[in-house]
Amino acid sequence: MTDVLIVDDHMIIRRGLRQILSEAPGIDLLHEAEDGPSALRILRTTSVDVVLLDIALGERDGLDVLKTLHSEFPRIGVIMLSVYPESQFALRAIRSGAHAYLNKGCSPDVLIAAIAKVATGSLYVTPAVAEVLAQNVRGGVDGERPPHELLSNREFQVLQLLAQGRSVGQIAQQLTLSANTISTYRARIFDKLELRNPADLFSYAARHRLTG
């Protein structure tokens, strides 16, 4: 039997996942956490086989939590479950220790199959993620890695939101960070990607399919 921890800051999402998984064979206990610190407290006192982890978790995002999970609990299978397309975060998630990356639009059957595979310590790769991995291999062979791959996970998340047309204030509210912090991330992004203005950013995002 598999024990699962659901980590998502939206109660409706957690309850929906709980309902789906409660009807799945082979899944025993289901735990819930609304953020990274809560998840870590549960994991430090409770035996869990698989963690379903959202990316957008406020002040400490899912990719940061993932690194801690991978360091402290290397035997636990982690599935990143997010609204973001595979092309934007799948590669980063797997590099950071995730065993699978699923879009929240996936079917219950895919989710249940991923949990079963990940619980054994194996990777679960969807066709969309396989394509992302293949593109990365080709890029590595050609020596052509896009500059945004050098951004930190948080910088990349801010880049993605800026590319959607979000303002600094809106991003700060969504990520539960200060506007000054988001402005600092924005400045770093412009510097690292050699962007001069918002038009350059939108052009870069469209060229690299970062707008979702």
CA angle, 197 then 200 then 202, to 5° = 110
Looking at the chain, the whole-number percentage of residues with pLDDT higher than 90 is 56
pLDDT digits (tens, 9 = 90+) for 174-190: 888 899 999 999 999 99
Whole-number Å distance between alpha carbons of 156 and 144: 18
Of the ranges 19-33, 46-60, 139-153, 183-197, which one carries the lowest mean pLDDT score?
Answer: 139-153
**Number of domains, the chain:** 2
pTM summary value: 0.78
Whether 13 and 76 share a structural domain: yes
Do 98 and 151 fall into the same domain? no
CATH code where residue 194 lies: 1.10.10.10
Domain residue limits at 193: 147-207
Domain identity same for 59 and 127: yes
Is the pLDDT score of 59 beyond 70? no
- pLDDT level of residue 208 (50, 70, 90 thresholds): confident
| C-alpha to C-alpha distance for 158 and 189, rounded to whole angstroms | 9
What is the per-residue pLDDT across 139-160, written as a single tens digit (0 to 9) for each?
Answer: 554 456 678 888 888 898 899 8
Q: Is residue 140 part of a domain?
A: no
Confirm whether 117 is domain-assigned: yes
More reliable by pLDDT, 48 or 177: 48
State which of 104, 135, 166 marks the end of a domain: 135
